[in-house]
Amino acid sequence: MMRVLGTVFAGLLGLAFGSFLNVCLSRWPRGESVVKPRSHCRTCDRTLAWWENVPLLSWLALRGRCRTCGTWIGGRYPLVELAVGALWGYVASGQYPGVPGDSIPASILPFLLASVLAGRLLTMIFLWLLVALAILDAEHLWLPDFLTLPSIAIGVVIAFLDSFLAVKLDSLTGLLLTEGTEGMWFDMWSPGLVRLASALAAAGLVLLIRWVYWLIRRREGMGLGDAKLMALLGAWLGLPQALLAFGLGVVLGALVALVLLLLPARESEGDGWAVRKLPLGTFLCIGGIVSSLWGQPILGAYLRWSGF
């Protein structure tokens, strides 16, 4: 019951936050405020009525066009709303810690539940951010520092807080997972430090590839924005899952590039796709979303398969 309610509630909340994200995605690139003025048509400037702002339904009812001037609103609006809604619903649909039984002592159930909810909330915020970056890079080849840099710091701080709270919870409940007191310092600090190192290593990988590419081609391949995005993935997911995201992103990007190359070039394209920049950040974000949701089982299966 909790699962169903949680899924529906989080899904609807995701639609609403996806709708807000659409406003941000239209206004950030122009340097406009996301709170005012109220939502309006970009062509005829008419302020939208409340019923034209309902996520998904309004777009369907209006068939994607402005009611007065008939301008095509764009497929990105329902796509973003649907994506955030589906991702949030999916995250909320996971198993919740059950009633106290032989496995879970009643004294720690509230802590356990609180930590599960906090973890899911953070995952939802992280996924929202990745959808935002994916669209911004796809539409503007832009991964803004005001999104990536603070998020890197927040990801590392969360990793530190997480291990502090886990050690505190251990000593509060007396369920010591850590042996003795000499292990405490290590248990408190190492997860955060590992995340910090993961962020640096993930960014370093992109910088290294960028440098090698420049040596060979004397041209810029990956942008600095991609390095910051990888640092963000490292800070939130840890190095193994960040590398998985990178691998998935590069493969996906290569597949898309291949398909575009095979398609007959349209005459209006001029230069064609070969020299046109593909938004690598978009593919890295998609890889990050997959890695965030299913990274552990994928990596586990890979390790078993490769015989580790």
Q: Which is nearer to Zn ion, 52 or 137 (CB)?
A: 52
Q: Are 203 and 160 in contact (CB under 8 A)?
A: no
- Largest Cα–Cα distance in the chain? 71
The least CB distance from residue 64 to Zn ion, in Å, is 12
Interface region with Zn ion, contact rule CB under 5 A, candidates 58-66, 136-144, 283-291, 299-307: 58-66
Four-point Cα dihedral 246, 247, 250, 252, nearest 10: -110
Applying CB under 5 A, does 73 fall inside the site for Zn ion? Answer: no
Q: Which is nearer to Zn ion, 66 or 80 (CB)?
A: 66
Q: Are 106 and 100 in contact (CB under 8 A)?
A: yes
Closest CA to 77 of 106, 98, 93, 56: 56
The least CB distance from residue 29 to Zn ion, in Å, is 20
The least CB distance from residue 84 to Zn ion, in Å, is 25
> Distance of CA 86 to CAs 138, 153, 160, 220, Å?
20, 27, 30, 36
Is the CA virtual torsion 57, 59, 60, 62 positive or negative?
A: positive
Which of 32, 43, 254, 255 touches Zn ion (CB under 5 A)? 43
Interface region with Zn ion, contact rule CB under 5 A, candidates 62-70, 144-152, 199-207, 251-259: 62-70
Applying CB under 5 A, does 248 fall inside the site for Zn ion? Answer: no
Q: Which is nearer to Zn ion, 45 or 220 (CB)?
A: 45
Which of 2, 34, 69, 251 touches Zn ion (CB under 5 A)? 69
Q: What is d(CA 82, CA 71) in angstroms, rounded to the nearest whole number?
A: 22
Which of 2, 44, 60, 263 touches Zn ion (CB under 5 A)? 44
Residue listed under structure tokens 């649909």 = 93
The least CB distance from residue 140 to Zn ion, in Å, is 22
The least CB distance from residue 32 to Zn ion, in Å, is 17
Other Cβ atoms closer than 10 A to 239? 18
Binding site residues, Zn ion, CB under 5 A: 41, 43-44, 66, 69, 71
